[in-house]
Every structure is written in structure tokens, then in C-alpha cells.
Amino acid sequence: MVVRTSYLRQRAEHGSGSTIDDHSKRARRSSLRGKIADLISPAGRFGHKRPPRELEDFPLPDLLSPGEGSGPDPERLTNLLDLAFLGRVSAGELDRELDAMTAGESDWVAAQFADDLFLTELVRTTFSIEVGGRRLKPHRGFLERVLAAPPPDRATIRYRQAILRELENTASHAAAAEDLLIGLYRLLTLLRASRDDARLEPIRFRFDVLTAFRAVVDLMADGFEGSTSGLQRLRDAGTKIRQSVAYGRMEALLDHQAKMATLQLEAYIGADGRLRHLEIKGLREAKGNPFYRRPLRRWWDRLRIFYRRYNFEGNELVDRLVMGVYQELAPALARVIQLICHLEVFVAARIFAEDARSRGLEVCLPEIEAAAELEIEGLFNPLLLGLMERPVPTDIVMKSASPITLVTGPNSGGKTRLLQAVGIAQVLAHSGLYAPCARARMPLTAGLFASIVELDRADQAEGRLGTELVRLRSLFESVPPGSMVLLDELCSGTNPSEAIEIVDMVLRLLRQIEPIAFVTTHFLDFASRLYEDRAVDGLGFLQAEIDDRHGATFRFIPGVATTSLAVGTARRLGVTFEELESTLEDRTSKRRSED
């Protein structure tokens, strides 16, 4: 009890989010780890040796990188799991730690594109998880971080793509991945409830955790036979755990708890269907189990405990055995529990693909090459899936001789949505996941810069134009050559003649950083001059397609738009002189009648 009070007081004094220096933090962790070990180790007052830690350096079976996975701080996660096993962790602590897992190395800077591409909204609306009829709550912070930190090398991209291809082509492996995810959720749900559910009986709860862990390990070891992708790591890890001495001890303890003995009964039932007599015909104890003790030995153990005046009962002995077994398995458990986030990435990606295909849209795993020309067929914006049944797909081709594309078209013609779609496709492709298109060949880019959303804040020092110009300056100061750049409606909120001068400057300077760039503009006369004179080398031109009724088709074709269709858009939205005048007259008439 002294240890528990000390630990709880420590948390009350410092708090889970307190800031202390590195030396104090290391000292506190070391002290905490020692106290936890004292609590869960069978050493000390019982005189046993510390159990072997053969799984101490058990690696994370990483599904996101062909190298060795890093994961969260293993010491902190192991401490949290230890405390959860002791019944001292609140429901949110484990999830917060898992949500904060690193997603791997990346050269991209999330602040330069994540908000403009609405990655948070994309994960919330598109990357849901439903398995076996159960809707699960994914770790969205980790999913978002995976998208915001694409790997810098093709090897990692292909490693992830290979897992998705195997899940798509091998039904047994897809089913095994879903079963494993459900098993991990069951295990995590138990650990979440350790402190918050007062109905849990401690020993029963700990046996349930070990039983759930055994089920997860068995699913890993048995579920991915014949795998040739990174899924083989799950099978290898499960097999290694199952072959360990620690796992054998856990199985023996669980079997002993579940079946200490077999009782044979003989029942006599009368003509009225009621039980008349019950007789015990035989009792066979599980003598082969290493935790089995003969009746005389059990009697002798109790006598020694009583004689030596030890102040504990049989339940405490059982609890110490459970704690000792858990301590041997804790390093492997800490790594296995992290798989829940890795599996969520692939299961969520597959559900996104299935949803798109159910709407008549295609997704693919794009070809990623270092100097590839951008070619996308059937591109759609996945952010629109929550707004309409089937967004209109379009094709995009960018030649190496024209790496900067100027996009024109009518208001509400889809220019901004096109830029978002291109950016999201590049993010998903670079992340090794399904891209929202039927087929794609994309370059390996050094980063992504997007200026699509105008963010006005109360503490914003500059106006809208000033903020946009500051963002443009950061583009040329920080974006590495070979990046993708998406700029929407440059300088649309200022004097056209001055704005055109700035747009012209940006287009000329962009060429020097060798980007893959899409720039939308509503300055149609300026775009037409560039199209006719080819004043800037490396420029390509796309325009929103217009149908025979002067409406946008939301597809894009080569060329420059000749009209913004502003009057048509206003008419479509009911913003005409006649309609607004009629509205005002109705309001005036109604007000007079009320007076």
C-alpha cells in the first residue's frame, strides 16, 4: 500500500502533462518502474528469483516500414500497461499514448498542406472502420499523422502497397487481419476498463487480460500462413511469442485456472423430469500442469504459512503467480498492442476503397517513380463522398516540359476541388495507400505545399492579402525543389492590375524550384495572354469543361476558359435583381401587416 500511495501522490503533484527537466523525468521513470516491478514481481517476501526476461527486446512487427519500427516510448507504454494490469489506468491514457505513436520518418512538413487539404476531415469522414458488423473507433490522431508524414523512399511505399495487394487478393489473410484487429480491440477494451469499472474482480480481470492476449498471439501465429508481404511479420512474431518459456507458463496457468480438475457425475432423473439423485463417480485432477500441487502438498503449504504467521491468503498467492507470468510477457504485450494502430491504417484504407467502388468510382495503388510525369485517370475528390453519392471523375496529364499548370474556369466549376483532389491523391499515393483514381503514375516528390484555404483569425496581424503574401514568401523560403505546389486563386481579394503583377511574379519564380504545380486563377484575360504568347516557359493550361447549357461538367480539358459564368452562377443560386427585389418586397409587406 505504501507504493500505491506514493505513485498516486506523484501523479497528483506533477500531473500527466507536467513539464520537468530530463534528469528529473528519468529519475521518476526509473523509480516508478522499480515500484511497479516490486508490485508485480514474485520476488521479495516470497524469496523467488526474478523471472527470465527472454522477451525483453521483442521488436515491433512493423507493418508501416520495412525497417525496424520505433513506436511510442516503450518504457512509458510498458509502464502504462503495467498499471492497467494493476487496475490503475483511466480509460483514456492508453489511447492517448497509442494515438501519439510516431508514423515514421518523413521529409514533408505537415503545416504546409494538412489544413488546406482537410486531412482531419478526410480521416473523420472517409477512414472509418467497421469489421464483422461492429463499428470500431479508430485512433484518428495516428491515422492523420500517417497521412501527414509520407515516407521519403519508394521502398516503404511499395512495402505498404504489397500488404494492401495481399489483403485484396488473399481472402484468408484479409479475414485474419480483421479477426486480429477485433482481438486487439478486445484486449485494449479490457485494459481500458481496469480502473474505471468497479465491478471488476482483480484476479478474474487479470486472467481475462492474459486470456485475451493468448487469443491475439494465436491469431498472429496461425492466421497468415503463406504470406509474402509484411504480414509475414505478424506470423513470425506470434510464433516467437508462442515458443517462449513465458508463453508456456501463461498457457499452463490459464489451463490450470480453467480446468484444475475433471469431475464425473451420475444423475438420476424421475418420470416427472426432476432430478432425483446426483452422485460423484470420479475426480481427475490435472496432474500434468506445472502449477498443480498434490492435496498433501497444498495442506502442507497452508500449514507452513499459518505456522510462520504470514499475513496473506490463497488468493494473494494466485495473484502473485499471475503477476509473475505477466511480467515475463510485458515486453511482448507492449509491442503487440501497438499493432492495433498499424492494422487500422490498412483496414481503413480497404474500407475507403470498398466504399468508393460501391459508388461506381475506382481506386488504385499508383506507380511511384522518381522522375515520372503526372498521369491520373478518373481522379475524384474523396472529401465529396460525404456530400454526394458520386463525384464526377476527371483525367489529369502533366508533361515534364510543362510542370506548372494554370487552371481556369467558371465560379463553382470545381477548380478548388480539383486542387484538393490532386493534393489528396499525392498524399495517399506517397503514403502507400489507395489513391482516389482509376489509374495513376506519379512522381516521388520532395514535399507538398498547398495554399487553398484562407484562414482568418482574430489574432491575425495582417489582412487577407498580407497573410497570403507571407505564405507565398514561406513557399520560396522553405519548399525544397521537386515538391508539389497547389495555389488557389492567388491575390483574388485585391486590385486586379496589382494582383496580376504578383501572380506573374509567382509563376516565373516557381519555375526555379522545379515543382509540380497547379495554380488556379480567375484572371481570364491574363491567362489568355500567357496561353497565346507562352510568356512563361513550362506552363500548361487546364480549363473547366462547360456543357451546351453553359453549366460546369466538373471535368477539366486543355485550354483557357473564356468566361467565369458569374451571372449564370448567381441565377442558379437565386441571386438576381428580380428575385432579391421580390424578397425585399415580401419582407416589407409582412412587416407592415404586423404593425
3-state class (DSSP) for residue 455:
coil
Q: Which of 222-236, 282-296, 456-470 has the lowest mean pLDDT?
A: 282-296
Distance CA 538, CA 442 (A): 18
- Is residue 18 pLDDT above 60, yes or no? no
- Is residue 454 pLDDT above 70, yes or no? no
Provide the pairing of β-strand 261-269 with 275-285: antiparallel
Confidence of residue 106 (pLDDT cuts 50, 70, 90): very high
- Is residue 416 pLDDT above 60, yes or no? yes
Residue scoring higher pLDDT (298 or 256)? 256
What is the rounded average pLDDT of the residues 271-278? 62
What is the rounded average pLDDT of the residues 23-47? 45
What is the rounded average pLDDT of the residues 102-119? 92
Give the best-scoring range by mean pLDDT among 139-153, 270-284, 287-301, 322-336: 139-153
Confidence of residue 194 (pLDDT cuts 50, 70, 90): low
pLDDT in the model for residue 463: 52
Confidence of residue 8 (pLDDT cuts 50, 70, 90): very low
Q: What is the mean pLDDT of the chain?
A: 79
The answer to whether the pTM exceeds 0.75 is yes
Provide the pairing of β-strand 539-546 with 404-408: parallel
Residue scoring higher pLDDT (100 or 462)? 100
pLDDT in the model for residue 272: 67
Residue scoring higher pLDDT (157 or 292)? 157
What is the rounded average pLDDT of the residues 520-544? 85
pLDDT in the model for residue 276: 59
Half-sphere exposure of 521 (CA within 13 A, CB side): 25
pLDDT in the model for residue 116: 93
Confidence of residue 401 (pLDDT cuts 50, 70, 90): confident
pLDDT tens, residue by residue, 299-355: 445 545 454 444 444 466 677 778 888 988 998 999 999 999 999 999 999 999 999
Which residues are within 8 A (CB) of 15 and not within 5 positions of it... i.e. 6 or more apart? none
Handedness of CA 551, 553, 555, 558 (dihedral sign): negative
pLDDT in the model for residue 469: 83
DSSP string computed for 333-399: HHHHTTHHHHHHHHHHHHHHHHHHHHTT---B--EEETTPPEEEEEE--GGGGGT-S-PPPEEEEE-
Calculated CA dihedral for residues 132, 136, 139, 140, nearest 10 degrees: 100
- What is each CA distance from 155 to 59, 465, 479, 570, in whole angstroms? 20, 41, 23, 50
Distance CA 361, CA 76 (A): 44
What is the rounded average pLDDT of the residues 553-568? 79
DSSP one-letter code for 23? H
Contact 412, 332 (CB under 8 A): no
What is the rounded average pLDDT of the residues 208-231? 95
pLDDT in the model for residue 162: 97
What is the rounded average pLDDT of the residues 275-291? 52
Handedness of CA 173, 178, 357, 144 (dihedral sign): negative
- Is residue 386 pLDDT above 90, yes or no? no
Residue scoring higher pLDDT (46 or 345)? 345
Through-space distance between the first and last CA atoms of the chain, rounded to whole angstroms = 76
- Is residue 567 pLDDT above 90, yes or no? no
- Is residue 36 pLDDT above 90, yes or no? no
pLDDT in the model for residue 140: 93
Contact 249, 260 (CB under 8 A): no
Identify the H or E element spanning 184.
helix 171-196
Which residues are within 8 A (CB) of 344 and not within 5 positions of it... i.e. 6 or more apart? 129, 138, 139, 142, 143, 181
- Is residue 182 pLDDT above 90, yes or no? yes
pLDDT in the model for residue 163: 97
pLDDT in the model for residue 78: 86
Distance CA 86, CA 77 (A): 14
pLDDT in the model for residue 5: 32
- Is residue 380 pLDDT above 80, yes or no? yes
For the chain, percent of residues with pLDDT exceeding 90:
40
Give the best-scoring range by mean pLDDT among 93-107, 334-348, 461-475, 522-536: 334-348
Contact 365, 434 (CB under 8 A): yes
Contact 539, 507 (CB under 8 A): yes
Residue reference for cell 469522414: 125
- Is residue 1 pLDDT above 50, yes or no? no
What is the rounded average pLDDT of the residues 269-287? 56
Confidence of residue 458 (pLDDT cuts 50, 70, 90): very low
CATH code of the region 359-456+476-564: 3.40.50.300
- What is each CA distance from 220 to 61, 186, 241, in whole angstroms? 11, 15, 10
DSSP one-letter code for 479? P
pLDDT in the model for residue 284: 53
Confidence of residue 27 (pLDDT cuts 50, 70, 90): very low
What residues does 408 pair with on adjacent strands? 543
**CB count in 10 Å sphere of residue 268:** 9
Let me know if 524 is exposed, middle or buried by CB neighbors in 10 A (0-12, 13-18, 19+). middle
Each domain of the chain, given as residue ranges in start order, spans 40-111+130-256+324-342, 261-317, 359-456+476-564
Distance CA 5, CA 11 (A): 10
- Is residue 512 pLDDT above 50, yes or no? yes
pLDDT in the model for residue 293: 52
At residue 26, φ and ψ (nearest 5 deg) are -65, -40
